[in-house]
Every structure is written in C-alpha cells, then in structure tokens.
Amino acid sequence: MIAPVQTLSPTNAPLKTNAQRLNETLQYSCQWGATSDGGMNRLSGNDDDKKVRDWFADETAKCGCTLTVDTMGNMFAVRPGQNNDMAPIALGSHLDTQPTGGKYDGILGVLSAMEVLRVIHENNVTTYAPLAIVNWTNEEGARFPPAMLGSGVWAGEFTTDYGHNRTSLDGTTMKQELERIGYLGTTPCSFEANPLSAHFEVHIEQGPILDAAEKPVGIVKGAQSIRWYRLKVDGREAHTGSTPMDRRNDALLAAAKMIVQVNKVVTTGPLFTRGARGTIAVIESGPQSINTIAGEVKMSLDIRSPFDDDVEEIERLCAQGFEAINREHGTLFQMDCFWKSPATNFHPQMVDCVRESARDVDCTHEIISGAGHDR
Amino acid sequence: MIAPVQTLSPTNAPLKTNAQRLNETLQYSCQWGATSDGGMNRLSGNDDDKKVRDWFADETAKCGCTLTVDTMGNMFAVRPGQNNDMAPIALGSHLDTQPTGGKYDGILGVLSAMEVLRVIHENNVTTYAPLAIVNWTNEEGARFPPAMLGSGVWAGEFTTDYGHNRTSLDGTTMKQELERIGYLGTTPCSFEANPLSAHFEVHIEQGPILDAAEKPVGIVKGAQSIRWYRLKVDGREAHTGSTPMDRRNDALLAAAKMIVQVNKVVTTGPLFTRGARGTIAVIESGPQSINTIAGEVKMSLDIRSPFDDDVEEIERLCAQGFEAINREHGTLFQMDCFWKSPATNFHPQMVDCVRESARDVDCTHEIISGAGHDR
C-alpha cells in the first residue's frame, strides 16, 4: 500500500495528494454500476464498464496521458517522463467489481493513482521515468472466470487466446464484449511487448489487522503462499434410526472431524505464530435427507502461510489427521490440490519506497497480504 | 414382524405360508413401476399405482374379500370371519414406493398379508374375527409429503381435508389423483368410522442388527422415541486469507464441532448402552465460496432412543455442548424442535402373538424399531 504520495515539485516543495478530491472523484465514478444499497455491480465488459472506461480515458488525457489499450482491454494511460526509453512506473488496479461489490475494492487503486497523476500534473512535475495509470481488465473474474485475467495474460500466466475465449454464463466471450464496448486494443497484451518498470497498487484491507491496530495504512511486503484442495469423503448411506452408532460409516461425521483437524493444525505452535491460516468454507453433503446418514461429502480446503515450507507442513499434518479420522470411521477420503500460489516477496526497493512514503503519515505497520489479487 | 403364520385349519393341521409363491407374486406385482436397476418407482396415485391397486382388488376378491376404499384411497380387503360384528384384524402395509425405492419396503408387508389370506382361504378356514388385508395410501409421502398420510388421516393425526390437499411438485393434489385413478372412496377415513381390532405388519429390517445376528425375523416390541430439530449457526463472513485464525467467527467450524458433540453424547455411557442414536445428516453452509469463511450454517438433527427420558437427556446434553461451542467461537445458534414422536410400546398381547409365531422358526430376537413408519 502507498500512503499519500510525497514527491518533489520543480521547486522542491513536498507534494500531497488531495484526499477530498480523491473521494469525490471516486464517488463520481461510482455512478456507473451503483446499486441501491450503496454497493457496486460493474461486471467486466458491460455498459457501465464502458462508461467508466471512457471517463477514465478522458480524465487521464486531461493530465497529459496517452492511452494504450492492449488486446485484453487493459488500459495504460502513460504520462511522459524525462527518460521515455524507460518502461513506465505504473500505479493502478481495476474498475470492474463483483456483482455485489463495494466502492473501494479495485476502484480505490485506480482512483488514487489518478489523484497522484493529477497532483503531479498540476505541479508541472516531469517524473524521471514515464508514469502509467493502469486499469486491468476483468480482475474480479466475476463475469468471465478466472480472476486476474487481464493482468494474468499480461504476465504470461495465460495466453491471449485463453483470455479472449473466457465465456460468461450467457455464452458471450470476453473478446466479443471488449469489441462491443470498443476496448479490444491492438497492443499485444504482454509484459515483454508492453513492459512496466514497476507497479504499485493501493488496496483496502480485507482483513481486520490494520483496523484492529488502528493504522490508516500498512506496508505490504509480499503475498501469502496459498494452496486450494478439493476434499471428498465416501461413507455409507444408512437409516439414522435403525443403524446402531457403532455400525456406521458416517461421511459427514468424518468430514466434521476433518474441519476441526484443519483448525487445530493452523492454531497450534509455531505454524500459528508465523501466521498460518486454514479454512474449510464449502461443504456439500448427500443425500441431504434428515433420516439418512450422509454417504458422501465434498469440501474445499484453503491453506495459507507467509512461508511455502509452512504450507507444505500444514498440508502434511492435515493429510495425516484426515487419514486417522477416516480410518476410525471406515470412510474413504480423497485430497486433490487444484491450485498452488507460492509466496511472493515484493521487490525490496519498491517496499522501501512505500515504507518511506508511509513514514510521512507516521505508519510503520508491515504486513503480508492474505488475499490473492487483493493486497 | 410376523414369522410365517401358523394357525389351525378346520382339521387342526398347522398352516404354513408358501414362501416361493409369496416371492413370485411379489415379483409379479413389481412389474408396475419397476426401474431398470432392479428397484421400484411407484409414486402414490400414478398410473402404476392404479394398476397395482386394480390387481390387489382382483387377487383379494378371489379369496373371498369385499373391498372397502376410504376417502383417502386406503384399501381394506375384508374376508368375513365367525364374528362379523367385530372389527377386522388387519395385516398390511403400502404398495407405493420412493422414486428410488426397493421391491420389499412396504410391498412385502402387503404381499405377505396376501399370502396369509391365500393360505387361509385355500384351507377353508373361517377366522374368529374378519381379516382385513390393507394397502395404505401414500405411506412414503414421496410425491405428496408428508409420509404416512393415508394411515395418518385414518388414525386422526391429520384431517381428511389436509390429506386431500397435499400437493405434488407439479401442483396436482392427492384428491385429484385419487379421483383420476378411481380410488377416491366414500367410506370415511377414520379409525372410528372404519375400525380395526389390530394391525400387524411385516417389514424388512432397514438396519443391520438382524443381519449381523443372522436372524431371519425379529419380534418388534415398539418404536423408538424420535425428535427432529432445525439447527442454525450464525457467524461472520470474512476473507480466508486476510482474517487471522483468532479473529474469526467461523459458522462452519462451530457446526463441525456440534456434529462431533452429538456423536459424543450418544456414544458415551448408559445412553449408548440403552440404544441412543444421534445424527446430523443435512447441512447447508453459506456463502459457499472457497475463500470466504462461512457466515451461516443450517443443519438438521435427528435424535432417538427406545426411551423418552433418554431422548430428553440427549437433547439437554447436545444443547449444553452447542452453547459452549458457540460461546468459544463467538457464533450464535438456534435449536428448534419441529417433530416429536414419543416411544411406542406395541400391545403385549399382539407382541405375544408374534413371539409365538416366531418361535416356530426358532427365532426369539426382540428389537425396537429404529424407523418411523418402517418396522
């Protein structure tokens, strides 16, 4: 996270962003996609997305930016610097939201970048490197799963073809919608063809740590190591009334003990102290009849830690516990890891920049991001 | 349960049912509603139900029975006895099945009654009281919930209006279907207007007790005390990555501990020894997102025991445990009992009849029914 940006104007006076203008501009931009309960519903590629994109293009142009739109619709509003052979230093996030999203997730990242741009422009600062204000396409992935699609293609995680062919529930593809709203650009979507020197993002905290510590901002040093699993427990359906307790293979009872086991692993000893997390949040049990013992349970498991080794250890201890529980109940379990995201350490020089900025608002709280694309 | 019936013919020779004929007749009757996997799908009031009812009427008429159909479509095929001012002694069960039912649940009860009727008729026995072979309507309740509808109206648990207005998913009422298939009778559906002296039912075991003991039949002395509850746990949705383990109100974790608690209560000490059962088999958790801690969980709880006092104690111990668990996790729970069925002790004289019969096949195994309408 970056605190209100302080840099030097041509007269060497410290520059400050204007919090009130930032908030007013953010609220203004939320007219497109606002819901009646004060939230946002601005799915990637819809008409509101087009409107906010058009507005973004206009506003950044007023501050001397030239817009580049790549083949995934990612928008790079670039303001020239002193050394225009350098790749721009980027600030940004995403303007799309979940269907029941808020006004700050993503939107704050783009709008605070725009506020920085305005202050720099008003003060006639020419930055060392060019400055890019970035709006990434379909970062939420709510309409076109998966999440982080535009940035993922740019980073080489997905091919452009893959990105183009993501399909919404009504059968429309990402590419069709980008074309329809006029944001299917021609610049290749690639960190090699269209590089950035660095990328900073302001993001609201989605956990309670800063809030509890009463800190306005935190310095994010990296992102957690994350693994996601599908779990399946197979037992035996039987009548709840006529089947004695010691003759059961109750898949839901075994599953319940597995949920407790995960919690025990991550709340014990050094794993807990070092910030481990383990959660089962999705559960589906069959046949869902009040008087039939569950024969099958499916669950998801989400484990995290700032450290890859700890995630490995959590996985091992969970699996070991699951083994014992399923042996006790005569049930069978499967544990299938379907997503791994190793721990990411942000570049020390960039973290130093943020640290320096944050000091100005008397904040030295350093944290590891607990989320994926949210910081 | 009744073992192969032994009674005396006019020549005082012991009578025996014909197991092979019973099985052949049962298989024959399962042509209506048979599924490709060897099971049955004969929902109450459908065309197959009409066909098997017509056949039942014909077959019982061949054995000297007069058919009474009541206003709920319950069929009483009555063969006169020596004392026709007495209410008949009934044998029977139900010919309807679950959509994925088997050939023996209910059907065996009606068909074995029919076999008894055939043997008595072939041997020219005139019973002391009239004999009624009964087919109860919609005992499963699969198409027109709740279960035990025909017998429930007859027993005065429900009004006839209530029974008539039960509605299937496609909007058809029970009464409309009975009318359509020609089984909306005129005899009042009531144990007072149309009484029985006694009712015996053969039912397959739906638990593993007799099977494990390798006993062909058991003598059912009564039915368990049963209570059903809706449980609800309210926690707080939060991000699985950014919310520390000690700042959570995880509704699914609390629910998992509640499932384990129920199991602990009924598998401990004298409650277990006296045959307690406790099961959570239905669970629904929201918002079912892998990276959002569950904010709400709904479950069902089924507790049983041969003794009403034990059910009371199980409820108390579960609630006490639930309190502690939810206090620990800062979650809230609700526990709502929506069905109570006290323990039923069958009439000692009737149990003696069954005991006497069972002795003939060298069986003295006495059990308490663990199911509701299933014995």
> Where are the domains positioned within chain B?
16-204, 225-341
pLDDT score of A158 more than 60 = yes
Band (pLDDT 50/70/90 cuts) for residue B101 is confident
Taking CB atoms and an 8 Å cutoff, what residues of chain A touch B255?
Answer: 256
Please classify residue B84 by burial: count the beta carbons closer than 10 Å to its beta carbon, then call 0-12 exposed, 13-18 middle and 19+ buried. Answer: exposed
Mean pLDDT calculated for residue range A111-132: 97
- Our CA-based measurement puts residue A236 at a distance from the nearest CA of chain B, in whole angstroms, of 12
Mean pLDDT calculated for residue range B305-316: 97
Q: Give the class (CATH, top level) of A225-341.
A: alpha beta
Q: What single-letter amino acid sits at A17?
A: T
Q: How far is CA A74 from the centre of its chain?
A: 16
Q: Which of A98-102, A245-249, B283-287 has the lowest mean pLDDT?
A: A98-102
Taking CB atoms and an 8 Å cutoff, what residues of chain A touch B277?
Answer: 240-241, 243-245
Residue ranges in chain A assigned as alpha helix (H): 19-29, 47-62, 107-122, 149-154, 160-164, 174-180, 209-213, 251-266, 269-273, 308-329, 348-359
Question: Quick one: pLDDT at residue A178?
Answer: 98
Choose among B256, B267, B300: nearest Cβ to A259.
B256
pLDDT score of A9 more than 70 = no
Beta-carbon contacts of B13 under 8 Å, excluding residues fewer than 6 positions away, are none
pLDDT score of B4 more than 80 = no
- Between B17 and B14, the higher pLDDT residue: B17
Beta-carbon contacts of A338 under 8 Å, excluding residues fewer than 6 positions away, are A228, A229, A230
Choose among B224, B277, B292: nearest Cβ to A245.
B277
Q: Which residue of B has its CA nearest to A277?
A: B245
| CATH number 3.40.630.10 given to A16-204 | yes
Band (pLDDT 50/70/90 cuts) for residue A239 is confident
Confirm if A260 and A282 have CB atoms less than 8 A apart.
no
Helix (H) or strand (E) holding B261: helix B251-266
Percent of chain A topping pLDDT 70 = 95
Confirm if A267 and A281 have CB atoms less than 8 A apart.
no
> Average pLDDT over chain A, rounded to whole?
92
Cβ of B245 within 8 Å of Cβ of A252? The answer is no
Question: Quick one: pLDDT at residue A373?
Answer: 53
Question: Quick one: pLDDT at residue A6?
Answer: 43
Band (pLDDT 50/70/90 cuts) for residue B372 is low
Q: Which of B78-82, B263-267, B371-375 has the lowest mean pLDDT?
A: B371-375
Band (pLDDT 50/70/90 cuts) for residue B364 is confident
Band (pLDDT 50/70/90 cuts) for residue A111 is very high
Q: Which tens digits make up the pLDDT trace of B267-282?
A: 999 999 999 999 999 9
Q: State yes or no: cis peptide before B216, omega within 30 of 0.
A: no
Question: B326 — phi, psi (to 5°)?
Answer: -70, -30
Mean pLDDT calculated for residue range A243-253: 95
Band (pLDDT 50/70/90 cuts) for residue B213 is confident
Q: What single-letter amino acid sits at A210?
A: L
Taking CB atoms and an 8 Å cutoff, what residues of chain B touch A255?
Answer: 256
Cβ of A228 within 8 Å of Cβ of B290? The answer is yes
Question: Quick one: pLDDT at residue A283?
Answer: 97
pLDDT score of A84 more than 50 = yes
pLDDT score of B57 more than 80 = yes
Maximum average pLDDT range among A12-21, A91-100, A205-214, B51-60: B51-60
Closest CA to A360 of A114, A12, A15: A15
Q: Which tens digits make up the pLDDT trace of A343-356?
A: 999 999 999 999 99
Taking CB atoms and an 8 Å cutoff, what residues of chain A touch B314?
Answer: none
Cβ of A242 within 8 Å of Cβ of B205? The answer is yes
Band (pLDDT 50/70/90 cuts) for residue A359 is confident
Closest CA to B241 of A29, A276, A325: A276
CA distance B280 to B299: 7
- Our CA-based measurement puts residue B33 at a distance from the nearest CA of chain A, in whole angstroms, of 22
pLDDT score of B153 more than 60 = yes
pLDDT score of A289 more than 50 = yes
pLDDT score of B300 more than 80 = yes
Mean pLDDT calculated for residue range A183-189: 98
